[in-house]
């Protein structure tokens, strides 16, 4: 039995996204502050849209 499936009233799903940052000259642009902001933003959008973000 797969435990990573999400069960809703009319469907079952498991959607995964992997975000890749491709920057010119391979400079580090994802600082701790930006990472924290993006994490908060993703969680806020997930709450508004009604989906769950599960940690790795």
Is residue 31 in a domain?
yes
Residue 52 lies in a domain: yes
Is residue 5 situated within a structural domain? Answer: no
Q: Which two tokens stand for residue 31?
A: 């600082």
Give yes or no for residue 3 having a pLDDT over 90: no
Average of per-residue pLDDT values in the chain: 82
Does residue 4 fall inside a structural domain?
no
- Whether 25 is covered by a domain: the verdict is yes
Q: Which two tokens stand for residue 17?
A: 């996204």
Residue 2 has pLDDT above 70, yes or no: no
10 part of a folded domain = no
The predicted structure's pLDDT at residue 29: 76
How many domains does the structure of the chain reveal?
Answer: 1
Whether residue 9 lies inside any domain: the answer is no
Q: State both tokens at 39.
A: 């994490």
For residue 25, what is the DSSP state?
A: G
Residue span of the structural domain in which 22 resides? 17-56
For residues 48 and 42, the answer to whether their CB atoms sit within 8 Å is no
Asked whether residue 51 is domain-assigned, the answer is yes
pTM of the full structure: 0.60
CA torsion angle 56 5 39 22 (round to 10):
70
């Amino acid at each position: 039995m797969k435990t990573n499936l999400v069960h809703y009233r009319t469907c079952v799903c498991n959607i995964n996204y992997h975000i890749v940052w491709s920057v010119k000259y391979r400079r580090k642009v994802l600082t701790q502050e930006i990472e924290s902001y993006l994490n908060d933003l993703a969680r806020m959008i997930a709450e508004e849209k009604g989906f769950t973000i599960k940690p790795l």
